[in-house]
């Protein structure tokens, strides 16, 4: 018999999401769970988005606008670009997969940093592309010189993903650093700047990706409604890029890839300046509280420009990460171990509501006290 599929497809690994609340309730018999695993907005959903969706619930028999006219027009206004520069995706995730499908064939090279968002790697592997993964620096920053060298040493490089800020580290590069990097990159290489956490960034020299897209045609910016706008369940993200790339990308997507509910939610959310402002202020206030609490308990915290922190257990913590994770799950707290990013002693934690952050710190006190007393791992 002929093989069912090509070997690069049998080698694919599934995406590992944050542990769902319902599964944790079933497995650990707990309620009142604080899910701090997927960088969702702890303030909930944009209220303007929810009202807009309510107003159209009885129109669910109609197919969505395949061209997402109203949403594109609103995004165009928001970023001061023309709608033809925009493609709407079923989450940014879909756009990442489609960019890989569009640009990578077997033998082409995808250049990526590592650890960085795992979906870039997954998209490249689906195409049978070769991935060149350039390690982050010791401080978990992008090694932009290393990336430029990797791109230039491999003529088959077609596509580069830059997560800024990066997931799972929360680190960010500046606009000047990006420009210095791009000056070294051949013009025909497509550079994707994934700004899933852009709304949380506090930097004087923050990247202005739209300005870069306007100057360098083969640059694509990605944004999502899943984080600061609180629309993770709706699945909406968008790409802004040159018309040549965007037109091709748009032809690859399914006609009705984004539901009407998602389209109206996202359109309204862009008007919800108050909600985004509140989300950002909450994050600015709570991120240092959580970081300092974690540091006070002996944990190593990577400085972050996002709504999450990457946290590392020191060698003398007296507990390993899988045991710590189980102990937290038993206390109804879901964080995200990042062993699959090659960081076996680290986890990622979303900045939660003030009481959730405090619950995590209190739980850590109990878990570390038990570890010191030699109690069985995970017992509440
Ligand atoms: C860097 C980065 N890009 C993209 C995404 C995907 O976002 P979306 O919900 O729009 O698919 C995430 C989600 O965690 C992310 O961290």
Ligand 1 lining (C-beta closer than 6 Å)? 39, 91-93, 117, 163, 167, 194, 196, 224, 226, 232, 237
Q: How much is the mean pLDDT over the chain?
A: 96
**CB contact at 8 A, 237 and 263:** no
Instruction: Provide the strand spans (E) within the chain.
Output: 34-35, 86-89, 109-114, 130-135, 157-163, 190-194, 219-224, 237-241, 300-302, 308-312, 333-334, 336-337, 346-350
Q: What is the pLDDT of residues 353-362, one digit of tens each?
A: 999 999 999 9
Burial class (CB in 10 A: 0-12, 13-18, 19+), 315: exposed
- Second CATH level (architecture) for the domain 47-272: 3-Layer(aba) Sandwich (3.40)
Residue 377 and residue 170: Cα distance in Å, rounded? 29
CATH code for the domain defined by 7-44+274-373: 3.90.1150.10
Q: What's the pLDDT band for 377 if we cut at 50, 70, 90?
A: low
Q: What is the H or E stretch that residue 372 is in?
A: helix 354-373
Residue 19 confidence (pLDDT): 85
Residue 238 confidence (pLDDT): 98
Would you say residue 312 has pLDDT above 90? Answer: yes
Residue 16 confidence (pLDDT): 80
The pTM score is 0.96
**CB contact at 8 A, 137 and 181:** no
Per-domain boundaries in the chain:
7-44+274-373, 47-272
Burial class (CB in 10 A: 0-12, 13-18, 19+), 338: buried
Atom of ligand 1 at shortest range from CA of 163: 1
Candidate from 75, 226, 350 with most ligand 1 atoms within 8 A of CB, to mutate: 226
Atom of ligand 1 at shortest range from CA of 90: 11
Sign of the Cα torsion 263, 264, 266, 270 reads positive
Query: CA-CA-CA-CA torsion for 170, 111, 130, 154, nearest 10 degrees?
Result: -160
Q: How far is the CA of 145 from the centre of ligand 1 (A)?
A: 25
Tokens linked to 31: 């309620």
Would you say residue 376 has pLDDT above 80? Answer: no
């Amino acid at each position: 018999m002929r093989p069912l599929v090509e070997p690069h497809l049998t080698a694919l690994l599934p995406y590992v999401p944050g542990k769902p609340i319902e599964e944790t309730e079933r497995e650990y018999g707990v309620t009142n769970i604080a899910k701090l695993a997927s960088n969702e907005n702890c303030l909930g959903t944009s209220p303007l988005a929810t009202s807009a969706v309510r107003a159209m619930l009885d129109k669910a028999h109609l197919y969505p606008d395949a061209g997402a006219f109203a949403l594109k027009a609103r995004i165009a206004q928001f970023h001061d670009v023309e709608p033809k520069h925009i493609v709407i995706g079923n989450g940014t995730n879909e756009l990442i997969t489609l960019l890989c499908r569009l640009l990578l064939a077997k033998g082409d090279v995808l250049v990526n940093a590592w650890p960085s968002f795992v979906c870039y790697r997954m998209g490249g592997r689906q195409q049978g592309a070769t991935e060149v993964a350039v390690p982050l620096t010791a401080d978990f920053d992008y090694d932009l010189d290393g990336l430029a060298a990797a791109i230039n040493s491999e003529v088959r490089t077609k596509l580069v993903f830059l997560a800024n800020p990066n997931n799972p580290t929360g680190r960010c590069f500046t606009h000047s650093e990006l420009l210095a990097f791009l000056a070294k990159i051949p013009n025909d290489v497509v550079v994707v700047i994934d700004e899933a956490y852009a709304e949380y960034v506090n930097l004087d020299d923050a990247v202005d990706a739209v300005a870069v897209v306007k100057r360098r045609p083969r640059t694509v910016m990605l944004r999502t409604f899943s984080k600061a706008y609180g629309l993770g369940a709706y699945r909406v993200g968008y790409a802004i890029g040159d018309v040549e790339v965007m037109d091709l990308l748009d032809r690859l997507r399914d006609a009705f890839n984004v539901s009407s509910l998602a389209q109206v939610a996202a359109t309204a959310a862009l008007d919800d300046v108050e909600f985004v402002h509140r989300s950002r202020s909450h994050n600015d206030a709570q991120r240092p509280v959580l970081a300092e609490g974690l540091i006070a308990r002996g944990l190593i915290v990577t400085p972050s420009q996002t709504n999450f922190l990457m946290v590392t257990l020191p060698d003398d913590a007296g507990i390993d990460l899988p045991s710590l994770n189980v102990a937290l799950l038993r206390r109804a707290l879901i964080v995200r171990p990042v062993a699959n990013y090659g960081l076996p002693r680290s986890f990622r934690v979303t900045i939660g509501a003030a009481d959730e952050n405090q619950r995590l710190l209190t739980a850590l006190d109990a878990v570390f006290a038990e570890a010191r007393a030699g109690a069985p791992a995970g017992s509440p």
